[in-house]
């Protein structure tokens, strides 16, 4: 049973990335939900959304460069979303928890668009792009996803904030392109909404 989401734990101003990352990891409970690599290889999860920590702006690392063609062949980049709060969701068509959270993420994407929130997916470890596109159609996902069949895009992120073996995973990126929060494992609308509201209230 999920515990109520808490988003009030903040890193003190002036704290370094190491402290921020440590608090993120303390605030997230380790689990194994059967997600991970295709073929039944379970990944080690970073945690859940139950105790998500939102880092203080001065302690946030910059998100890495992400650019390329999405699953439909359209150019997309994370930098092109600067000025918006971005939900970056890592998913795979082979991942059961990804299927469980997908419909809720799509609803939240539509509901928060007027608040300046944008969603971007990273489709990881799907060797067959047809399987990934079928997943998008099945869940009517309106936001783009960058294909990452070998997991190389995930390796660009700080491992303390995004464990490449934990799928699904979600990052919240602020309007200046900095990582504000990291969530390992499936997330619900109810858990993610207050985190987005907290970051969206910040001045750019």
- Look up the pTM and report it: 0.77
Q: Read off the pLDDT of residues 12-71 as tens digits, 9 standing for 90 and up.
A: 334 333 333 333 333 333 333 434 444 433 332 234 555 678 999 999 999 999 999 999
Identify the CATH class of 17-200: alpha beta
From the number of C-beta atoms within 10 Å of its C-beta (0-12, 13-18, 19+), residue 61 rates as middle
Quote the CA–CA distance of 184 and 111 in Å, as a whole number: 23
Other C-beta atoms within 10 Å of 65: how many?
11
Quote the CA–CA distance of 152 and 26 in Å, as a whole number: 26
Q: Which of 162, 176, 172 is nearest to 197 (CA)?
A: 172
Q: In this structure, are residues 81 and 166 in contact, taking their beta carbons and an 8 Å threshold?
A: no
Q: Read off the pLDDT of residues 135-186 as tens digits, 9 standing for 90 and up.
A: 999 999 999 999 999 999 999 999 989 999 899 999 999 999 999 999 999 9
Q: In this structure, are residues 64 and 173 in contact, taking their beta carbons and an 8 Å threshold?
A: no
Residue ranges in the chain assigned as alpha helix (H) = 17-27, 96-112, 129-138, 189-200
């Amino acid at each position: 049973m999920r515990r109520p989401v808490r988003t009030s734990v903040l890193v003190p101003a002036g704290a370094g990335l190491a402290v921020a990352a440590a608090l993120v990891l303390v605030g997230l409970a380790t689990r194994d939900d059967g997600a991970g690599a295709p073929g039944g290889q379970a990944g080690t999860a970073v945690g859940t959304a139950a105790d998500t920590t939102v880092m203080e702006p001065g302690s946030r690392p910059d998100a890495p460069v992400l650019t390329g063609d999405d699953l439909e062949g359209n150019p997309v980049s994370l930098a092109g979303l600067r000025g918006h709060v971005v939900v970056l969701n890592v998913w795979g068509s082979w991942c059961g928890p990804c299927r469980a959270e997908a419909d809720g993420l799509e609803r939240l994407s539509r509901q928060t668009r007027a608040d300046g929130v944008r969603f971007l997916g990273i489709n990881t470890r799907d060797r067959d792009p047809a399987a990934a596109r079928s997943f998008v159609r099945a869940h009517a996902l309106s936001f783009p996803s960058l294909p990452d069949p070998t997991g190389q895009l995930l390796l660009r992120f700080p491992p303390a904030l995004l464990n490449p073996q934990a799928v699904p995973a979600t990052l919240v990126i602020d309007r200046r392109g900095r990582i504000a929060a990291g969530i390992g494992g499936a997330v619900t609308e109810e858990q993610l909404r207050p985190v987005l509201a907290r970051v969206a209230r910040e001045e750019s």
